[in-house]
Amino acid sequence: MDADCSDGKACNGVEKCTTGTCHAGTPPCSNADPVNCVVTCTEGASAVCGAVQGIDADGDGYRSSSCAAAPGNDCNDSKAAIHPGATEICDGVDNDCNGKIDIADGLKPLGTSAVLWSNALNSSIAYSPTDNVFGVPLSKPDNAASAAPYNTYLFVLDTTNTKTIFPVALTSVANFSGPTAITWGGSDFGIAYGDDNSDLKFRRVTSSGTASAQVSAANDGDYPSLDLLVSLSIARVPGGNWGIVWHEAFQSYHNVLGLTVSAADVPSGIFPIGTAGVRAQIASLNGGFGVAWYESGTGTSAGMSNRTSAFVSSKTQTLSTTAGSTKTVIASNGTVYGVAWADATNLYFRTISDAGAAGCGPAVLPISGFVPSDIVATKNGGFLIVSGSTKIEALDVSSSCVFGTRFTIDADTGTNVHIAGGGGKPYGLAWDDGSLNDAKGVQTRILGANICD
């Protein structure tokens, strides 16, 4: 008989006896999501069901926000240390469940800035994930007067901002060195640098300081009006060609040019990329290159060229026609290119595929005093844009073109601000702090993978 099977508890449901065997009843208080929700049942003559609530699986007194029927405010109900009101720590997690993580929740960037070399300039920076170090090339006078001519050198820094390799001389004769650019190529750094203003040099240097022979990639007279290297940028297709782009100036003439250097250190010819273009930057994605720049002559702020590993153009397009714009920056997160630029009142960002197809954006953020100087991928697939216009600062943006937090890294101003690393690895920054004769010279700062660690 059923009565013989009853446990006398209404909240368990009515037990049944079938062919001499007792079977459990169905609890009368339904719960469609027992993993994230809980419902109370009060015993009596019949069961009295309470309201559905989020479960408190970790016992911290806060109920799970994953209960769709009645969300609580605990954003991680598997860890008792994470709940509203908890202390935010630098770990890439929203510890206090307010929807903000680390820097966005008020934590500060790691460490302090340090002078790498006084009376120096023309710095850039790259990260070696193989050796967990940063390479920083720069130019410095080789005379007591701290005036040009000067040589180009390379420092290697560990993740504590300590020099592991003191300057490796990239040039042997002091000259009118120009800008520098550096990237990690898989087994060594690839460095492009100006020499005698208009000559472009290239060489590889390992993280232990062993340098290859210097390569004359381009020289004065190799291209019509090739005269003054104003900016440089370098990237590499993994295991393949290095791509180098630069802004060449001659009187009122400006042009964006580029070339490749093979894995055997053989340079190609020069490729014209952007007429009237200035401040070009290059990145690598899926076996090819992306080059972004802005055109000062027409006011077209952002142009982009997708190119093969041999630097053959596959698509060139105008990304924006906003007049009065400044430097355009580009980086790859391994899936898409992120491109940012600014005018006097707004910052713009959009994503582009390796084939040149439009992704999200352009997103527009009203902002002042923030001219993009460089960009790098973050560990969550987004991007971090840096600027030195009014101070050394950064702004993150997601791969879906949603702007995040703007924060200060150093209260001092700087020029030629570069950032490297990221993507789950430490970040390194290098910038020129003042003029050639400034004792501050080139400064560096190393941040953890979460920026505040």
Q: What is the CATH number of the domain that holds 208?
A: 2.120.10.10
What's the pLDDT at 78? 96
Higher pLDDT, residue 317 or 436: 317
Q: How confident is the model at residue 362 (pLDDT cuts 50, 70, 90)?
A: very high
pLDDT in tens, 98-150: 999 999 999 999 889 999 998 888 999 999 999 999 999 998 876 555 555 67
Helix (H, G, I), strand (E, B) or coil at 141: strand
Higher pLDDT, residue 321 or 448: 448
Does the CA dihedral 412-387-419-363 come out positive or negative? positive
Same domain, 196 and 244: yes
Residue 97 lies in a domain: no
Same domain, 58 and 172: no
What's the pLDDT at 217? 86
Same domain, 133 and 8: no
Same domain, 24 and 118: no
Q: In whole angstroms, give the CA distance from residue 393 to residue 173.
A: 36
Q: Is the pLDDT of residue 176 over 90?
A: no
pTM of the model: 0.89
What's the pLDDT at 23? 74
In eight-state DSSP terms, residue 5 is: H
Q: In whole angstroms, give the CA distance from residue 440 to residue 169.
A: 21
Q: Provide the b/e sequence for 22-32 (b: ≥16 CB within 10 Å).
A: eeebebebebe
Residue 380 lies in a domain: yes
Among 35, 63, 84, residue at a domain's last position: 84
Domain count, the chain: 2
What's the pLDDT at 253? 58
Residue 106 lies in a domain: no
Under 8 Å between Cβ of 217 and 259: yes
Containing structural domain, residue 227: 114-447
What lies within 8 Å, CB to CB, of 118 at 6+ separation is 438, 439, 440, 441
Residue 92 lies in a domain: no
289 pairs with which residues across the strands?
A: 284, 307
Residue 373 lies in a domain: yes
pLDDT in tens, 260-307: 999 999 999 888 887 767 788 999 999 999 999 887 655 555 688 899
Same domain, 20 and 119: no
Residue 301 lies in a domain: yes
Residue 108 lies in a domain: no
pLDDT in tens, 190-249: 999 987 656 889 999 999 999 999 998 887 656 554 556 778 999 999 999 999 998 876
408, 409, 414, 417 alpha-carbon torsion, rounded to 10°: -110
Among 84, 99, 134, residue at a domain's last position: 84
Q: How confident is the model at residue 364 (pLDDT cuts 50, 70, 90)?
A: very high
Same domain, 71 and 129: no
Which pair of structure tokens corresponds to residue 344?
A: 């006097």
Helix (H, G, I), strand (E, B) or coil at 2: helix
Same domain, 164 and 203: yes
Residue (of 124, 154, 159, 135) closest to 431 by Cα position:
124
What lies within 8 Å, CB to CB, of 42 at 6+ separation is 11, 48, 49, 50
Q: How confident is the model at residue 97 (pLDDT cuts 50, 70, 90)?
A: very high
Same domain, 187 and 63: no
Note the Cα 227 to chain centre separation in Å: 32
Same domain, 276 and 425: yes
What lies within 8 Å, CB to CB, of 443 at 6+ separation is 113, 114, 115, 116, 410, 412, 414, 430, 431, 433
Same domain, 355 and 401: yes
Under 8 Å between Cβ of 269 and 261: no
Same domain, 126 and 64: no
Q: Provide the b/e sequence for 310-320 (b: ≥16 CB within 10 Å).
A: ebeeeeeeebb
Same domain, 158 and 209: yes
Number of CB atoms found within 10 A of residue 358's CB: 12
What's the pLDDT at 437? 53
Residue 173 lies in a domain: yes
Kindly list the strands in the beta sheet with 163-169, ordered across the sheet, starting from the edge strand earlier in the chain: 126-128, 133-141, 150-157, 163-169
End-to-end CA distance of the chain: 67
